[in-house]
Amino acid sequence: MRPNPISLETAKILSEKLNVPIEQIMHMPQHILLQKLTEVANQEDEKKDKE
């Protein structure tokens, strides 16, 4: 499997948001990465709605 075509800076940001190592971000299948990003975005939306 090829590494994801994202920059190192993007991988660092995603790593912090998802609490996973950068290496795992780079080699995570794209559909799983997108699913996890969607979950994080939904959680942030819920936090904003509660405020």
Residue 46 is predicted with a pLDDT of: 86
Is residue 12 over pLDDT 80? yes
pLDDT, residue 47, reads 83
pLDDT tens readout for residues 16-47: 989 999 999 989 998 999 999 999 899 888 88
CA distances from 40 to 1, 2, 24, 48 (A): 25, 24, 17, 13
Q: Which two tokens stand for residue 7?
A: 């920059």
pTM as predicted: 0.73
